[in-house]
Amino acid sequence: MKINTEVLEKIKNSESRVLVVTKYLDKKDTDEVVLFMEQNYFDIIEWFWENRLEWLKLKELDREKAHFIWNIQTKQIKEIVKDCLVIHSVDDVKQILRMEEICGKADLWVQIFLQINVDSTKEWGINIDKIPEFLNVIWDMENVSLIWFSAIWKSEFTKEEKEAEFDLLISLRNKYIPNWFISAGTSLDYEIALEKWIDIVRIWTALYK
């Protein structure tokens, strides 16, 4: 598995961290990527992105290194929190309540990002005016901890549109809880994300040769 270290060096020279997308790799390639990252870029890893529970079990990733990003089905929450420490795509209060219930019974702790809808063409994600409602629910929880915001990605955009999206996320973060993390950016726009000092960028196609 050949890794594009040029991308990683750009991230290393910024103040951002990388969430390495391994969801499309088999166990062998995933193991190689995990080993390479831990040996060479441990200081910038935000660990690894998965979205298929059956593959997670086959790959045997450590729970502390597994991040889940995908549409969350209520029936899957028990397995998601069992196998993943961090969940980036939370956009429903009921999901959070269910996570708290399951984690409480299993003596687990899970960290979440609220997925904010910054793209009016998308039907999912949390509307900006609903953010306080979600925060009020989370503050009283013992087993679910908020890391902060993530964003829905899109495949077509101008640089100006993407900059405006990142600026909006930053302003929302600063309004509610300054200095917490933003998870945004993909292989298509990570360089813009780095320019905007986005905390965590999610890289897939740009990382592999």
Domain boundaries, the chain: 5-207
Output the six-digit token pair for 190: 């990570």
User: What pTM was estimated for this model as a whole?
Assistant: 0.88
Which band of pLDDT confidence, cut at 50, 70 and 90, is reported for residue 149? confident
Output the six-digit token pair for 166: 């990142």
Would you state the pLDDT for residue 62?
A: 92
Residue 155 in this model has a pLDDT that exceeds 80: no
Separation between Cα atoms, residue 182 and residue 153, nearest integer Å: 13
Separation between Cα atoms, residue 18 and residue 8, nearest integer Å: 8
Classified as helix, coil or strand, 36 is: helix
HSE-up (13 A, CA, CB side) for residue 98: 17
Query: Any idea which of 16-20, 130-134, 153-157, 187-191 has the lowest mean pLDDT?
Result: 153-157
For the chain, percent of residues with pLDDT exceeding 90:
68
- Tens digits of residue pLDDT in 23-42: 989 999 999 999 999 999 99
Separation between Cα atoms, residue 111 and residue 67, nearest integer Å: 9
Which band of pLDDT confidence, cut at 50, 70 and 90, is reported for residue 185? confident
Q: Please give the CATH topology (third level) of the domain spanning 5-207.
A: TIM Barrel (3.20.20)
Which band of pLDDT confidence, cut at 50, 70 and 90, is reported for residue 201? very high
